A and B are shown apart, each in its own frame.
Chain A
Amino acid sequence: MEATTPCARSLAHVRGMRMAHEFLLGAFDLAYAEADLVHTAGGASKTHVLWSLGHLSVDYDTVIGPALGLEPQLPAHLSERFLYGTKPVPDASLYPPLAELRAHADASFHRVVQRIAAMTDAELDAPVPPDHPLATFFGSMDEFLRIVPFHVGYHLGQVSLLRVSRGLPGLFS
Protein backbone atom coordinates (compact mmCIF):
# COMPACT_ATOMS: atom_id res chain seq x y z
CA MET A 1 0.00 0.00 0.00
CA GLU A 2 1.35 3.40 -0.93
CA ALA A 3 2.25 5.61 2.02
CA THR A 4 0.62 9.02 2.20
CA THR A 5 2.20 12.15 3.61
CA PRO A 6 -0.06 14.64 5.38
CA CYS A 7 0.15 17.98 3.64
CA ALA A 8 0.08 21.50 5.06
CA ARG A 9 -3.38 22.15 3.68
CA SER A 10 -4.93 19.08 5.29
CA LEU A 11 -3.44 20.03 8.64
CA ALA A 12 -4.78 23.57 8.22
CA HIS A 13 -8.25 22.14 7.66
CA VAL A 14 -7.94 19.96 10.75
CA ARG A 15 -6.88 22.96 12.82
CA GLY A 16 -9.88 25.06 11.83
CA MET A 17 -12.27 22.16 12.30
CA ARG A 18 -10.82 21.25 15.68
CA MET A 19 -11.28 24.78 17.01
CA ALA A 20 -14.86 24.93 15.73
CA HIS A 21 -15.58 21.52 17.25
CA GLU A 22 -14.40 22.69 20.68
CA PHE A 23 -16.99 25.46 20.49
CA LEU A 24 -19.64 22.92 19.49
CA LEU A 25 -18.85 20.78 22.53
CA GLY A 26 -18.98 23.92 24.67
CA ALA A 27 -22.47 24.64 23.34
CA PHE A 28 -23.60 21.12 24.26
CA ASP A 29 -22.28 21.59 27.78
CA LEU A 30 -24.31 24.71 28.60
CA ALA A 31 -27.42 24.45 30.78
CA TYR A 32 -30.77 24.38 28.97
CA ALA A 33 -34.33 24.05 30.22
CA GLU A 34 -36.52 21.96 27.91
CA ALA A 35 -38.35 25.09 26.73
CA ASP A 36 -35.02 26.71 25.81
CA LEU A 37 -34.17 23.78 23.56
CA VAL A 38 -37.22 24.17 21.30
CA HIS A 39 -37.70 27.94 21.44
CA THR A 40 -37.78 29.58 17.99
CA ALA A 41 -37.27 33.13 16.78
CA GLY A 42 -40.80 33.18 15.40
CA GLY A 43 -41.99 34.27 11.99
CA ALA A 44 -40.90 31.84 9.31
CA SER A 45 -37.98 30.62 11.42
CA LYS A 46 -38.47 27.11 12.78
CA THR A 47 -34.87 26.60 13.90
CA HIS A 48 -34.30 25.81 17.55
CA VAL A 49 -31.30 24.91 19.70
CA LEU A 50 -32.00 21.19 19.77
CA TRP A 51 -32.28 20.90 16.00
CA SER A 52 -29.18 23.08 15.46
CA LEU A 53 -26.99 21.00 17.77
CA GLY A 54 -28.39 17.75 16.36
CA HIS A 55 -27.83 18.98 12.82
CA LEU A 56 -24.17 19.69 13.57
CA SER A 57 -23.77 16.37 15.40
CA VAL A 58 -24.83 14.32 12.36
CA ASP A 59 -23.09 16.50 9.78
CA TYR A 60 -19.67 14.91 10.34
CA ASP A 61 -21.04 11.39 9.83
CA THR A 62 -23.63 11.84 7.11
CA VAL A 63 -22.27 14.75 5.05
CA ILE A 64 -18.52 15.20 5.56
CA GLY A 65 -17.63 11.52 6.10
CA PRO A 66 -19.17 10.20 2.86
CA ALA A 67 -17.26 12.85 0.86
CA LEU A 68 -14.10 11.35 2.37
CA GLY A 69 -15.10 7.79 1.53
CA LEU A 70 -16.27 6.94 5.06
CA GLU A 71 -19.43 4.90 5.53
CA PRO A 72 -22.04 6.54 7.82
CA GLN A 73 -22.25 4.85 11.20
CA LEU A 74 -25.02 6.76 12.95
CA PRO A 75 -28.55 5.31 13.09
CA ALA A 76 -30.72 6.37 10.14
CA HIS A 77 -33.36 7.97 12.37
CA LEU A 78 -30.88 10.71 13.29
CA SER A 79 -30.49 11.73 9.66
CA GLU A 80 -34.26 11.81 9.31
CA ARG A 81 -34.42 14.29 12.19
CA PHE A 82 -31.46 16.52 11.44
CA LEU A 83 -30.26 16.52 7.84
CA TYR A 84 -30.59 19.51 5.49
CA GLY A 85 -34.20 20.10 4.64
CA THR A 86 -35.64 18.47 7.75
CA LYS A 87 -38.14 20.61 9.64
CA PRO A 88 -37.50 21.28 13.33
CA VAL A 89 -40.50 20.37 15.47
CA PRO A 90 -41.26 22.12 18.79
CA ASP A 91 -41.34 18.92 20.86
CA ALA A 92 -38.13 17.97 22.67
CA SER A 93 -39.44 14.46 23.41
CA LEU A 94 -39.17 13.62 19.70
CA TYR A 95 -35.39 14.13 19.76
CA PRO A 96 -32.52 12.16 21.34
CA PRO A 97 -31.09 13.59 24.57
CA LEU A 98 -28.32 16.19 24.25
CA ALA A 99 -25.79 13.85 25.87
CA GLU A 100 -26.39 11.26 23.15
CA LEU A 101 -26.04 13.85 20.39
CA ARG A 102 -22.84 15.18 21.96
CA ALA A 103 -21.34 11.69 22.04
CA HIS A 104 -22.26 11.11 18.38
CA ALA A 105 -20.77 14.48 17.42
CA ASP A 106 -17.48 13.82 19.17
CA ALA A 107 -17.03 10.27 17.90
CA SER A 108 -17.90 11.27 14.32
CA PHE A 109 -15.62 14.30 14.47
CA HIS A 110 -12.60 12.22 15.47
CA ARG A 111 -13.24 9.69 12.70
CA VAL A 112 -13.45 12.47 10.13
CA VAL A 113 -10.41 14.49 11.19
CA GLN A 114 -8.28 11.35 11.36
CA ARG A 115 -9.05 10.84 7.69
CA ILE A 116 -8.54 14.49 6.76
CA ALA A 117 -5.20 14.68 8.56
CA ALA A 118 -3.91 11.95 6.23
CA MET A 119 -5.09 13.57 2.99
CA THR A 120 -2.55 14.37 0.31
CA ASP A 121 -2.53 17.42 -1.95
CA ALA A 122 -3.85 15.26 -4.79
CA GLU A 123 -6.77 14.09 -2.66
CA LEU A 124 -7.58 17.66 -1.64
CA ASP A 125 -7.52 18.81 -5.26
CA ALA A 126 -9.80 15.95 -6.36
CA PRO A 127 -13.51 16.68 -6.93
CA VAL A 128 -16.12 15.81 -4.35
CA PRO A 129 -17.43 12.32 -5.27
CA PRO A 130 -20.15 12.76 -7.92
CA ASP A 131 -22.76 10.82 -5.93
CA HIS A 132 -22.38 13.20 -2.95
CA PRO A 133 -25.36 15.57 -2.55
CA LEU A 134 -23.07 18.62 -2.40
CA ALA A 135 -20.79 17.58 -5.29
CA THR A 136 -22.01 20.32 -7.60
CA PHE A 137 -21.49 23.08 -5.02
CA PHE A 138 -17.72 22.70 -4.66
CA GLY A 139 -14.89 22.44 -7.16
CA SER A 140 -12.73 20.21 -5.00
CA MET A 141 -12.49 18.48 -1.64
CA ASP A 142 -10.33 21.40 -0.52
CA GLU A 143 -13.16 23.83 -1.21
CA PHE A 144 -15.69 21.54 0.43
CA LEU A 145 -13.66 21.26 3.64
CA ARG A 146 -13.09 25.01 3.82
CA ILE A 147 -16.77 25.57 4.53
CA VAL A 148 -16.88 23.29 7.59
CA PRO A 149 -15.82 25.81 10.31
CA PHE A 150 -18.12 28.40 8.71
CA HIS A 151 -21.03 25.94 8.87
CA VAL A 152 -20.40 25.14 12.54
CA GLY A 153 -20.12 28.86 13.32
CA TYR A 154 -23.32 29.60 11.41
CA HIS A 155 -25.46 27.29 13.52
CA LEU A 156 -23.70 28.05 16.82
CA GLY A 157 -24.32 31.77 16.20
CA GLN A 158 -28.01 30.95 15.97
CA VAL A 159 -27.85 28.82 19.13
CA SER A 160 -26.23 31.74 20.94
CA LEU A 161 -28.80 34.27 19.73
CA LEU A 162 -31.69 31.99 20.67
CA ARG A 163 -30.20 31.61 24.16
CA VAL A 164 -29.63 35.35 24.65
CA SER A 165 -33.14 36.12 23.40
CA ARG A 166 -34.43 34.05 26.35
CA GLY A 167 -32.21 35.80 28.87
CA LEU A 168 -29.56 33.07 28.99
CA PRO A 169 -25.80 33.71 28.57
CA GLY A 170 -24.59 33.45 24.98
CA LEU A 171 -21.88 31.05 23.92
CA PHE A 172 -19.15 33.62 24.51
CA SER A 173 -20.69 35.59 27.36
Chain B
Amino acid sequence: MGPKNQRDFADKESDRMTTPRAAVHIQSMQIVHGMLVRALTFPYTNEQLTFTQGSSRSHILWLLGHLVWAYDAAVGASIGLKPVLPPRYSELFAFSTKPSTNVADYPPLEELLARANECYERACARIATLTEAELAAPLSPHHPLAKAFPSLDHFLSMGPFHTGYHLGQIGLLRTAQGMPSLVGM
Protein backbone atom coordinates (compact mmCIF):
# COMPACT_ATOMS: atom_id res chain seq x y z
CA MET B 1 0.00 0.00 0.00
CA GLY B 2 1.08 3.55 -0.50
CA PRO B 3 1.34 6.52 1.84
CA LYS B 4 -0.36 5.99 5.18
CA ASN B 5 -1.64 9.47 5.94
CA GLN B 6 -2.38 12.82 4.44
CA ARG B 7 0.98 14.23 5.55
CA ASP B 8 2.79 11.64 3.45
CA PHE B 9 0.74 12.65 0.44
CA ALA B 10 1.32 16.34 1.04
CA ASP B 11 5.07 15.83 1.37
CA LYS B 12 5.21 13.93 -1.88
CA GLU B 13 3.04 16.28 -3.87
CA SER B 14 4.36 19.67 -2.93
CA ASP B 15 5.25 21.91 -0.02
CA ARG B 16 1.73 23.27 0.04
CA MET B 17 -0.10 22.41 3.26
CA THR B 18 -3.10 20.14 2.90
CA THR B 19 -6.18 22.10 3.94
CA PRO B 20 -8.26 20.80 6.86
CA ARG B 21 -11.20 20.03 4.58
CA ALA B 22 -9.02 18.15 2.12
CA ALA B 23 -7.53 16.21 5.03
CA VAL B 24 -11.02 15.11 6.12
CA HIS B 25 -11.69 13.82 2.61
CA ILE B 26 -8.40 11.93 2.45
CA GLN B 27 -8.76 10.40 5.88
CA SER B 28 -12.33 9.37 5.15
CA MET B 29 -11.15 7.74 1.92
CA GLN B 30 -8.44 5.88 3.83
CA ILE B 31 -11.01 4.28 6.15
CA VAL B 32 -13.38 3.19 3.42
CA HIS B 33 -10.60 2.10 1.06
CA GLY B 34 -9.33 -0.27 3.73
CA MET B 35 -12.77 -1.86 3.85
CA LEU B 36 -12.91 -2.11 0.05
CA VAL B 37 -9.53 -3.84 0.04
CA ARG B 38 -10.81 -6.34 2.61
CA ALA B 39 -13.82 -7.03 0.41
CA LEU B 40 -11.59 -7.48 -2.66
CA THR B 41 -9.16 -9.89 -1.02
CA PHE B 42 -11.62 -12.54 0.19
CA PRO B 43 -11.32 -15.98 -1.50
CA TYR B 44 -14.73 -16.07 -3.18
CA THR B 45 -15.96 -18.86 -5.41
CA ASN B 46 -17.41 -17.88 -8.79
CA GLU B 47 -20.86 -18.78 -7.50
CA GLN B 48 -20.46 -16.48 -4.50
CA LEU B 49 -19.31 -13.64 -6.73
CA THR B 50 -22.40 -13.79 -8.97
CA PHE B 51 -25.03 -14.70 -6.36
CA THR B 52 -28.12 -12.46 -6.61
CA GLN B 53 -31.22 -11.83 -4.52
CA GLY B 54 -34.76 -12.09 -5.92
CA SER B 55 -35.43 -9.47 -8.59
CA SER B 56 -32.10 -7.73 -8.02
CA ARG B 57 -29.35 -8.35 -10.58
CA SER B 58 -26.56 -6.84 -8.46
CA HIS B 59 -23.85 -9.26 -7.41
CA ILE B 60 -20.62 -8.97 -5.44
CA LEU B 61 -18.36 -8.89 -8.50
CA TRP B 62 -20.26 -6.05 -10.18
CA LEU B 63 -20.45 -4.06 -6.93
CA LEU B 64 -16.69 -4.36 -6.36
CA GLY B 65 -15.92 -3.36 -9.95
CA HIS B 66 -18.36 -0.47 -9.73
CA LEU B 67 -16.52 0.93 -6.69
CA VAL B 68 -13.17 0.66 -8.48
CA TRP B 69 -14.64 2.33 -11.56
CA ALA B 70 -16.04 5.14 -9.38
CA TYR B 71 -12.57 5.97 -8.03
CA ASP B 72 -11.40 6.64 -11.57
CA ALA B 73 -14.42 7.86 -13.52
CA ALA B 74 -16.23 9.79 -10.79
CA VAL B 75 -13.69 10.86 -8.14
CA GLY B 76 -10.69 11.10 -10.47
CA ALA B 77 -12.64 13.03 -13.08
CA SER B 78 -13.89 15.48 -10.45
CA ILE B 79 -10.34 16.46 -9.45
CA GLY B 80 -8.92 16.79 -12.93
CA LEU B 81 -7.25 13.40 -13.28
CA LYS B 82 -7.23 11.66 -16.62
CA PRO B 83 -8.84 8.20 -16.53
CA VAL B 84 -6.40 5.30 -16.22
CA LEU B 85 -8.84 2.38 -16.38
CA PRO B 86 -9.42 0.64 -19.74
CA PRO B 87 -12.67 1.71 -21.50
CA ARG B 88 -13.95 -1.80 -20.81
CA TYR B 89 -14.39 -0.86 -17.15
CA SER B 90 -17.02 1.73 -18.07
CA GLU B 91 -18.86 -0.81 -20.21
CA LEU B 92 -18.90 -3.27 -17.31
CA PHE B 93 -19.22 -1.12 -14.21
CA ALA B 94 -20.61 2.37 -14.93
CA PHE B 95 -23.91 3.49 -13.41
CA SER B 96 -26.85 1.62 -14.98
CA THR B 97 -24.76 -1.13 -16.56
CA LYS B 98 -26.36 -4.56 -16.23
CA PRO B 99 -24.40 -7.17 -14.28
CA SER B 100 -23.52 -10.32 -16.23
CA THR B 101 -23.79 -13.70 -14.51
CA ASN B 102 -20.66 -14.90 -16.33
CA VAL B 103 -17.54 -14.35 -14.22
CA ALA B 104 -15.40 -14.62 -17.35
CA ASP B 105 -16.89 -11.34 -18.58
CA TYR B 106 -15.07 -9.49 -15.78
CA PRO B 107 -11.46 -8.74 -14.83
CA PRO B 108 -10.08 -11.02 -12.07
CA LEU B 109 -10.24 -9.77 -8.48
CA GLU B 110 -6.44 -9.38 -8.40
CA GLU B 111 -6.67 -6.88 -11.23
CA LEU B 112 -9.54 -5.02 -9.57
CA LEU B 113 -7.49 -4.79 -6.37
CA ALA B 114 -4.44 -3.41 -8.18
CA ARG B 115 -6.60 -0.89 -10.06
CA ALA B 116 -8.36 0.13 -6.86
CA ASN B 117 -5.06 0.83 -5.09
CA GLU B 118 -3.69 2.73 -8.07
CA CYS B 119 -6.76 4.95 -8.44
CA TYR B 120 -7.09 5.52 -4.69
CA GLU B 121 -3.48 6.62 -4.29
CA ARG B 122 -3.68 8.93 -7.29
CA ALA B 123 -6.87 10.49 -5.96
CA CYS B 124 -5.47 11.01 -2.45
CA ALA B 125 -2.30 12.59 -3.82
CA ARG B 126 -4.34 15.04 -5.87
CA ILE B 127 -6.84 15.86 -3.10
CA ALA B 128 -3.94 16.66 -0.77
CA THR B 129 -3.04 19.57 -3.05
CA LEU B 130 -6.54 21.06 -3.40
CA THR B 131 -6.98 24.61 -2.16
CA GLU B 132 -10.05 25.90 -0.36
CA ALA B 133 -11.03 27.73 -3.56
CA GLU B 134 -10.77 24.55 -5.61
CA LEU B 135 -12.88 22.64 -3.09
CA ALA B 136 -15.53 25.37 -3.14
CA ALA B 137 -15.69 25.49 -6.95
CA PRO B 138 -18.42 23.68 -8.89
CA LEU B 139 -17.67 20.43 -10.65
CA SER B 140 -16.75 20.65 -14.32
CA PRO B 141 -19.96 20.88 -16.39
CA HIS B 142 -18.71 17.77 -18.22
CA HIS B 143 -18.76 15.69 -15.03
CA PRO B 144 -21.74 13.29 -15.08
CA LEU B 145 -22.79 14.38 -11.57
CA ALA B 146 -22.17 18.11 -12.02
CA LYS B 147 -25.82 18.98 -11.53
CA ALA B 148 -26.21 16.88 -8.41
CA PHE B 149 -23.60 18.69 -6.28
CA PRO B 150 -23.04 22.42 -5.81
CA SER B 151 -19.28 22.08 -5.27
CA LEU B 152 -16.35 19.67 -5.40
CA ASP B 153 -16.38 19.65 -1.60
CA HIS B 154 -19.99 18.44 -1.58
CA PHE B 155 -19.20 15.78 -4.15
CA LEU B 156 -16.19 14.44 -2.25
CA SER B 157 -18.25 14.42 0.96
CA MET B 158 -20.45 11.77 -0.63
CA GLY B 159 -17.58 9.37 -1.34
CA PRO B 160 -17.76 7.48 1.99
CA PHE B 161 -21.54 7.25 1.69
CA HIS B 162 -21.27 5.77 -1.81
CA THR B 163 -18.64 3.23 -0.80
CA GLY B 164 -20.60 2.35 2.33
CA TYR B 165 -23.78 1.96 0.28
CA HIS B 166 -22.30 -0.69 -1.98
CA LEU B 167 -20.20 -2.39 0.72
CA GLY B 168 -23.44 -2.72 2.70
CA GLN B 169 -24.95 -4.52 -0.28
CA ILE B 170 -21.89 -6.74 -0.54
CA GLY B 171 -22.20 -7.46 3.18
CA LEU B 172 -25.83 -8.49 2.72
CA LEU B 173 -25.02 -10.74 -0.25
CA ARG B 174 -22.20 -12.27 1.79
CA THR B 175 -24.24 -13.01 4.94
CA ALA B 176 -27.08 -14.40 2.83
CA GLN B 177 -24.54 -16.95 1.56
CA GLY B 178 -23.16 -17.76 5.01
CA MET B 179 -20.05 -15.60 4.83
CA PRO B 180 -19.14 -12.95 7.42
CA SER B 181 -20.17 -9.43 6.40
CA LEU B 182 -16.49 -8.28 6.56
CA VAL B 183 -17.07 -4.98 8.36
CA GLY B 184 -19.06 -6.30 11.31
CA MET B 185 -22.21 -4.31 10.66
* Contact between chains at A151 and B164 (CB < 8 Å): yes
CB contacts under 8 Å to A, within B146-174, are 153-154, 157-158, 160-169, 171-173
- In the complex, residue of chain A having the shortest beta-carbon distance to the beta carbon of B183: A154
Q: Does B185 contact A (CB under 8 A)?
A: yes
CB contacts under 8 Å to B, within A7-28, are 7-9, 11-13, 15-16, 19-20, 23
Main secondary structure of the interface of A (DSSP, over half): helix
Q: Does B46 contact A (CB under 8 A)?
A: no
Number of interface residues of B (CB under 8 A): 40
* Contact between chains at B176 and A44 (CB < 8 Å): yes
13 contacts between A and B (CB under 8 A): A8-B21, A9-B24, A15-B153, A15-B154, A44-B178, A151-B164, A153-B160, A153-B168, A154-B171, A154-B183, A157-B164, A161-B168, A165-B55
A158-B171, A161-B56 given. 17 additional CB < 8 A pairs?
A8-B132, A9-B20, A16-B28, A23-B161, A41-B172, A142-B24, A147-B160, A150-B163, A152-B164, A153-B163, A154-B167, A154-B171, A157-B164, A157-B165, A161-B172, A161-B173, A165-B54
Q: Which residues of A contact B (CB under 8 A)?
A: 7-9, 11-13, 15-16, 19-20, 23, 41-45, 47, 121, 142-143, 146-147, 149-158, 160-162, 164-167
